[in-house]
Structure 1
Amino acid sequence: MTPRGIADPDSFIRTETARLAPPLVPEITLHLATESLPIWQRTEEELGEIGLPPPFWAFAWAGGQALARYILDHPETVRGKRVLDFASGSGLVGIAAAKAGAAHVACADIDPFAHAAIALNAALNKADAVTVLTTDVVGTAGSWDVVLAGDIAYERDLAARVFAWLQALSARGADVWIGDPGRSYLPRDRLEKVADYAVPVSRELEDSEIKATSVWRPRR
């Protein structure tokens, strides 16, 4: 049974967040947590009872901010193309792709609350090209021209599985772009760096207030 007070994800998100612009991407407004610990603690207590993951969707993570910034500054990366925003969270990167002129953007996440957050944030930014993809896409071939992935190298086994899939997509011709703030399991030997950013972040979530963050792509 869904815990009382969070039966409606839309209402929960509207109540627990504020409309804020990520520091590195002021063109986009998202429903974000104003403080990290309260929403994290509440979701651990309540959402955890129904098996949902932590509220990654409530924060603009450094990897996503850097990747969104890169896309907005280099719209030719996605313009007119079919785009997948993998592990989308808030939808930040996918919304950036839509604003940069992507023909269609599928924002994929396995968290039902992320699905609601993506839809709310896409509507807030009038990103009509964005749709929500609710299935686990890892391992699928897909028909995307561009695959975007922000901050996905924080857990060893997951990173190994995801990067093998991204490498396969790249080998089949998809353009793969990755935003990462120095997470432990980024396979740097298989990637080439294309841009660096200094991303303001919350000290409650990270080990510093500015994260040196890079955009990468697989070596061809």
Structure 2
Amino acid sequence: MPGYLTKQESIPVPGVANLFIRSLLDKQQFSDPLGAAEQLGISSAAWPLFGLLWPSGAKLAARMASRPLRTGERILEIGCGLGLASLVCHRRGMDVTASDCHPLARQFLEENLRLNALAPMKYRTGQWGTDNPQGMGDVQGQFDLIIGSDVLYERDARATLAHFLDAHADQGAQIWIVDPNRGNRAAFHKQMAVHRFEVVEERLDCPALESAPAYKGRLLVYERPRTHALVEPT
């Protein structure tokens, strides 16, 4: 990997077999010789974040490992980074599309598919933090379930993420966001309410274990209330 160092680990996910994951060595890695990341607004400090494994991503992957298989369900992961949750879905036979705005996310995903002897999977460039409503990358269509972890890390005054989710959520879709209590949750709830999404929160707090540090966060499940047609009395 030119310009940066990587490592390879066997990552346990409760409920499924371990996954071999190649990631960046640490937060100090950076390589953007052509300025591709800079053009997307990704700073040198933020550049390595896509290529690291994060606790919230592990929580989301564990949830997808235990989710019942549903025939015909279409799943989109936003801000996938290394795509741990998408890899779990793909291995289980789910129809999943991974998406991220980082220019190297596809390359790392393809390498991790190879390491685990998995068939190719769908990947799209997905970007919502833009003033241009058409500048959402190449994610197309609508999905039954949209998942993401630690995507509320910045204030989003223009509600670009909520608009993105509304554009790609099918009728009756659910949206699962694992949030490590970043502080933008309340504002995001209001932005989603504009699109008629209601939310149910589930605490995911757990104490420190020998194999993992303590975690505090929540699973946010957004869904539009079902409407029932009125029947005129006869």
The TM-score bracket by the shorter chain reads 0.7 to 0.9
CA RMSD of aligned residues (A): 3.4
Q: Which residue does the alignment assign to 1:88? A: 80
Q: What is the CA–CA distance in structure 1 between the aligned matches of 2:81 and 2:207, rounded to whole Å? A: 18
Q: Which residue does the alignment assign to 1:196? A: 204
Q: What is the CA–CA distance in structure 2 between the aligned matches of 1:214 and 1:69, rounded to whole Å? A: 14
Deviation at 1:105, TM superposition (A): 1.7
Query: Deviations for 1:56-89, whole angstroms, at most 9, x for unmatched residues?
Result: 232121221111101101233x664221111110
Query: Residues 96, 74 of structure 1: CA spacing in aligned structure 2 closer, same or farther, 3 A cutoff?
Result: same
Q: Which residue does the alignment assign to 1:205? A: none
> In the alignment, is residue 30 of structure 1 matched against residue 21 of structure 2?
yes
Match of 1:42 among 13, 17, 29: 29
What amino acid is the match of 1:154?
Y
Deviation at 1:192, TM superposition (A): 0.9
Deviation at 1:128, TM superposition (A): 2.5
Q: Which residue does the alignment assign to 2:9? A: 19
Match of 1:118 among 104, 109, 124: 109
> In the alignment, is residue 63 of structure 1 matched against residue 75 of structure 2?
no
Q: What is the CA–CA distance in structure 2 between the aligned matches of 1:99 and 1:79, rounded to whole Å? A: 15
Q: Secondary structure at the match of 2:143?
A: coil
Contact between 1:75 and 1:100, CA under 8 Å: does it hold in 2? no
Q: What is the CA–CA distance in structure 1 between the aligned matches of 2:222 and 2:127, rounded to whole Å? A: 22
> In the alignment, is residue 172 of structure 1 matched against residue 171 of structure 2?
yes
> In the alignment, is residue 153 of structure 1 matched against residue 125 of structure 2?
no
What amino acid is the match of 1:146?
L
Q: Which residue does the alignment assign to 1:162? A: 161
Contact between 2:74 and 2:96, CA under 8 Å: does it hold in 1? yes
What amino acid is the match of 1:216?
L
Q: What is the CA–CA distance in structure 2 between the aligned matches of 1:161 and 1:107, rounded to whole Å? A: 19
Deviation at 1:141, TM superposition (A): 6.1
Deviation at 1:31, TM superposition (A): 0.9
Query: Residues 196, 188 of structure 1: CA spacing in aligned structure 2 closer, same or farther, 3 A cutoff?
Result: farther
| Gaps in structure 1 of 5+ consecutive residues | 7-11, 202-207
Match of 2:215 among 208, 211, 216: 211
Contact between 1:16 and 1:33, CA under 8 Å: does it hold in 2? yes
Q: Which residue does the alignment assign to 1:9? A: none
* Greater fraction helix: 1
The total of aligned residue pairs comes to 196
Say which structure, 1 or 2, has more relative contact order (CA 8 Å, 6+ apart).
Answer: 1
TM-score by length of 2: 0.68
Deviation at 1:168, TM superposition (A): 5.3
Query: Residues 5, 219 of structure 1: CA spacing in aligned structure 2 closer, same or farther, 3 A cutoff?
Result: closer
Q: Which residue does the alignment assign to 2:232? A: none
Q: What is the CA–CA distance in structure 2 between the aligned matches of 1:148 and 1:183, rounded to whole Å? A: 17
TM-score by length of 1: 0.72
What amino acid is the match of 2:143?
W
Give percent identity, aligned residues only: 22
Contact between 2:101 and 2:125, CA under 8 Å: does it hold in 1? yes
Contact between 1:82 and 1:145, CA under 8 Å: does it hold in 2? yes
